[in-house]
Amino acid sequence: MLSVEDIHVAYGGVQAVRGVSFEVRNAQVVGFVGANGAGKTSVLNAITGLVPSRGRVSLDGDPLHGRKTADIVRRGVVQVAQGRQLFPDMTVLENLEMGGFLQPPQHVQEDIEKMFAQFPVLQERAMQRAGTLSGGEQQMLAIARALMGRPRVLLVDEPCLGLSPKMVGKLGEVIRRINADGIAVLVVEQNTAFVFGLAHHAYVIENGQVVLDGKPEQLREDDRVRSAYLGI
């Protein structure tokens, strides 16, 4: 459904992404693993139009490349930014409302109820300022806010960053449940074990290029992946 072909991103003279291609099929979780600076965020930002790029991106054949971010969100591709990027002085509820700003008002009310059912801690803390939540709660809110945009494809950038192992486990369950609801997920992480535990298909990115891809069970057998990414 989401097709990314030969994407290039450059910042001035720095080639951050050099010809990355991949697909996210319906109802799949796809993972991207790579070290800090490998180009993972740049790939996501290219898909959602947050950085200029060369290449082609399409959703079910409908070209996304060159469109404005709001148009891309409207078509169902929504990003959860690295570092959560919540509105820290707004309440949990207000952050959720912001996530639905492109939706008709009746969807917003309905979806807030859904998010509260799915993330009970957000209901408990509905009137609390987002900046006062724990890291794990903030990540849940960032994901819930993105779901308010009714995505068909959810792009999640380094959700595990700074979270306890217990919280990382919960996050895995949350992503699995979202996917089980029929939303395709592209998750980008330095935490390779996390991605391999979730993804149907994974890509390894180094210096702005895909160097390897396959099913996690295949990649786990690769000597280079084992030493460089799994520490085995």
Ligand X SMILES: Nc1ncnc2c1ncn2[C@@H]1O[C@H](COP(=O)(O)OP(=O)(O)O)[C@@H](O)[C@H]1O
Per rule CB under 6 A, is residue 156 in the interface with ligand X?
Answer: no
Of residues 82-141, those binding ligand X (CB under 6 A): none
CA 132/CA 128 separation, integer angstroms: 7
Residue 41 touching Mg ion (CB under 5 A): yes
| Candidate ranges 11-19, 92-100, 143-151, 211-219; the one touching ligand X (CB under 6 A) | 11-19
Q: Tell me how crowded residue 67 is: count the other CB atoms within 10 A of its CB.
A: 17
Distance CA 209, CA 40 (A): 10
Q: How far is the CB of 33 from ligand X (least distance, A)?
A: 10
Q: Write out the two tokens for 144.
A: 């819930």
Fill in the amino acid letter for 172: G
The SS3 of residue 28 is coil
Query: Distance (Å, rounded) from C-alpha 4 to C-alpha 55?
Result: 8
Span 57-86, contacts to Mg ion by CB under 5 A: 82
Degrees to nearest 5, angle at CA 202 with 174 and 154: 40
Nearer to Mg ion, 83 or 169 (CB): 83
State the nearest-atom distance from the C-beta of 25 to Mg ion, in Å: 24
Among residues 14, 127, 180, 232, which is the contact residue for ligand X, using CB under 6 A?
A: 14
Phi, psi for 113 (deg, rounded to 5): -60, -40
Largest Cα–Cα distance of the chain, in whole Å? 52
Interaction of residue 16 with ligand X, rule CB under 6 A: yes
Q: 16 vs 92, which CB is nearer to ligand X? A: 16
Contact characters 25-44, ligand X, x per CB under 6 A? ---------x-xxxxxxx--
What residue ranges bind ligand X (CB under 6 A)? 11, 14, 16, 34, 36-42
Q: Interface residues with Mg ion (CB under 5 A)?
A: 40-41, 82
